[in-house]
Structure 1
């Protein structure tokens, strides 16, 4: 049975569901282009987390449900993510630059409501199958109150509420997955809720019988058995890796789109080539290590470790994509500080996430000292002193940073576990 679980792959339904991520990544990246303050960038980060969390909870539900995955539930969530993505340009219009104040109203309401409904769909679907997802509790719960209250309070308080809700969501899932007491409480609450549902269903059947409905036409009254869901590790790793590839595709699309209306000068050609090679390096790291860019001496990361790392990696790639999209038109000029930090700040986030994954997987010390530390230091220096160089030079520098970071496996015989067991 374990071998069969490892051989399981993403279904056509799941691959179709992933198409919404393409639209969402593009919308977030475009919103980042127009961001002009830390608050605007933070809002983009919060929206990305909301979309990522909906995709994650739905994918985790499909992971534990397997062939019992409810197609309608997944398609409804797909519609919800599409609505969230379409709302991104108009969420928190007071944070948008002046020329964007003509966006339709109430997009923030639409985004929040769609988010809460989508999270609720995943939760209800898992509960109906009798599954308690203890390895990532966010699948079956959401801190809804801060999101709802944020719609009725002044902006500064609303921003804080979004941040609190996200922090609680992540902390609850990471701590809940590692706490035996929390796992037991989740299971006990699920059983009590199921008992209440079974009692209501029994009363409904009794009422139908009193009305004269024949036994053959009665719905199945068998009680649902509650069990703790077991993660299908190979399938989950594949799903998370596919998400990374999708986001990499958005980065490549940014490079291609930026070339569409440019004269192909020496700077544009060199900058585009360096940007393309940078995306290739990100892909190479994904193919070598999986979605968590770090060598490991131990077994695959636990879901409560892998999912936050996946969030960091994909958010970093979205930021890098925005930086590359702004760099190509300015390849022969000096980049604005914001766009420069999208590129190099994204690299730093990518490297910091690799440290988290490396600590969890007990990566060797020489990797930290010889590859992570120098790469992160050069990336920070690129962000600080990048105003002294032209855009194409910065793209080349970013590529060199990743090229060195990716050289570890070629220069050192690591003997680490397989790349795709993240």
Structure 2
């Protein structure tokens, strides 16, 4: 690597930049974070907890996706970059450990850890980019300014009390979400040009696919751990199989055709930064959220598989796949250019199940789980049958 290149990745020798072992190691922290998020919802499933957990989930997603953008340019095999990632892992463990009580006694730990991760990484990237990459360095100077503003709010929110914390952290989350839309505009520094975001498409697609694997893996771990603690019966075995098959179906829907189509479109795009911002930075968040909510529903079903259903079970068992399908529908719309009928039909059926709550709540949780799983299976099979033989060209719009 030349001196001019500094800590940046070189050109890939073939295909795209591989995901390095240190990036995979870094992701382990987020396996823990996803587990903490789902367990928080399981233990206190109510409106305020859902709102607070939603804010924390968005925060966790942004610190991960921002790091993935950074390592799209920086070379994780360089010792300096590795050191930063290892330091972020330590801060990430503090952040993840704080999640269950992030709006309580551990709020300062969460807020400070989050600010350190976002500000520290961005400051390092600014320092690491060589002078010859003026546009890229200016882009990260703007990003650093936004992270400093949001980071201050995360720290302040950690030390205020009551509803003030919710409002401050809600504002910090909003700043995080709107920054890319505003192209990180900063007074005196202007806005970044999306055309300057020269992402390496295959690497970005693979990184986001791995986060989906993290979420699905956590779902399977929850299912297995809960099933191992319950008394086995016909109902619990049915619920266990349904939960596992639902995870397989979600994997199928995302990875069978969609992930490869996204990688290909991003690699071939004339404007990869804009596509990566929409399809991977924003539209993967509901996909991950859907998997997490489904995992919560699996735990509810395994705990009480028979008898009358509960509102929280209906909301998670049906709502999780609904959010997941909505996210994948929009993601595939971004990369393929049309809304898939298979996904729209699945969403319509799930919405109907929610709308018919007086009837669906009479079903046992295990039976409700089977219905939601069947919807996912049908969507997956429909897409594979309609698109696989003809690829992803325009003729496949009639699926």
Q: TM-score, normalised by structure 2?
A: 0.81
Aligned 8 A contact 2:146 2:179 in 1: no
Aligned 8 A contact 2:182 2:191 in 1: no
Whole-angstrom CA distance in 2 between matches of 1:9 and 1:174 = 28
Distance change (3 Å), C-alpha of 1:393 and 1:293? farther
**Residue correspondence of structure 1 range 135-214 to structure 2 within 5 A:** 141-142=146-147, 143-176=150-183, 185=190
Which of 22, 26, 29 does residue 13 from structure 1 map onto?
Answer: 22
* 2:236 counterpart of 1:268: yes
Partner of 1:375: 346
Distance change (3 Å), C-alpha of 1:311 and 1:291? farther
Distance change (3 Å), C-alpha of 1:265 and 1:136? farther
Whole-angstrom CA distance in 1 between matches of 2:177 and 2:140 = 12
Q: CA deviation at 1:43?
A: 0.8
Q: CA deviation at 1:388?
A: 1.4
Whole-angstrom CA distance in 2 between matches of 1:62 and 1:295 = 17
Whole-angstrom CA distance in 1 between matches of 2:62 and 2:12 = 29
Distance change (3 Å), C-alpha of 1:43 and 1:397? same
* 2:10 counterpart of 1:37: no
Which of 312, 317, 336 does residue 338 from structure 1 map onto?
Answer: 312
Distance change (3 Å), C-alpha of 1:112 and 1:274? same
* 2:59 counterpart of 1:91: no
* CA-to-aligned-CA distance 1:35-90 (integer Å, 9 cap, x gap): 23211111111112222222222222122112446111100101111111111121
Q: Give structure 2 stretches of 5+ with no counterpart.
A: 1-9, 130-135, 394-399
**Residue correspondence of structure 1 range 238-257 to structure 2 within 5 A:** 238-257=206-225
* CA-to-aligned-CA distance 1:162-182 (integer Å, 9 cap, x gap): 2222122111113317x8x99
Q: CA deviation at 1:144?
A: 2.6
Whole-angstrom CA distance in 2 between matches of 1:353 and 1:182 = 34
**Residue correspondence of structure 1 range 112-151 to structure 2 within 5 A:** 112-130=111-129, 131-132=136-137, 134=139, 141-142=146-147, 143-151=150-158
Whole-angstrom CA distance in 2 between matches of 1:119 and 1:312 = 22
Q: CA deviation at 1:117?
A: 0.3
Partner of 1:64: 73
**Residue correspondence of structure 1 range 287-302 to structure 2 within 5 A:** 287-290=255-258, 302=275
- The count of corresponding residues between Structure 1 and Structure 2 is 362
Aligned 8 A contact 2:40 2:100 in 1: yes
Aligned 8 A contact 2:26 2:85 in 1: yes
Q: CA deviation at 1:150?
A: 2.5
Q: Give structure 1 stretches of 5+ with no counterpart.
A: 94-104, 189-227, 418-422
Whole-angstrom CA distance in 2 between matches of 1:18 and 1:83 = 15
Whole-angstrom CA distance in 2 between matches of 1:333 and 1:183 = 63
Whole-angstrom CA distance in 2 between matches of 1:408 and 1:119 = 41
Q: CA deviation at 1:360?
A: 2.2
Q: TM-score, normalised by structure 1?
A: 0.77
Greater RCO (CA < 8 Å, at least 6 residues apart): 1
